[in-house]
Amino acid sequence: MSTQFKMIFTTCKDENEARTLAKALVEKKLAACVNILPNMSSIYMWEGEVAESTEAKLLIKTKADKTNDVFLTIKAMHSYEVPEIQVIDVATGNLAYFNWMDEVLN
């Protein structure tokens, strides 16, 4: 079973970029809520080398019909050449929270 709700993950170079992106998504009614997890360590392969950096992770709560616009906003505002954008289907959850999300995103 799945709901109409999605959780989208992205990372930003720092908390300032993350806040700017999060506020834009909420103001445009593309996300009901965005959590920012600052100072996260990332180790990854980039251009053939192992790289390490401190980033901020965004947990973007939205609806399926907003997903494409969230993608476009992230790509337009992001400083990375290849930003992480991953979508998780929300299978179930608190109905009262979902009702709040519906209200906020409509």
All domains in the chain, ordered by first residue: 5-105 (3.30.70.120)
pLDDT at 2: 79
For residue range 42-88, list pLDDT tens digits in order. Answer: 999 999 999 999 999 999 999 999 999 999 999 999 999 999 999 99
Cα dist. 30→1, 15, 19, 21, 45 in Å? 23, 20, 15, 11, 31
| Nearest partner of 2 among 64, 49, 80, judged by Cα | 64
Kindly provide the b/e burial profile for residues 25-62, where b requires at least 16 CB atoms within 10 angstroms of the residue's own CB: bbeeebbbebeeeeeeeeeeeeeeeeeeeebbbbbbbb
Quote the mean pLDDT of the chain. 96
- The predicted pLDDT at position 1 comes to 66
> In the structure, what pLDDT confidence band is assigned to residue 20 with cuts at 50, 70 and 90?
very high
Place of tokens 């109905």: 95
Share of the chain above pLDDT 70, in %: 99
> Is pLDDT above 90 for 38?
yes
Instruction: Assess whether pLDDT exceeds 80 at residue 28.
Output: yes
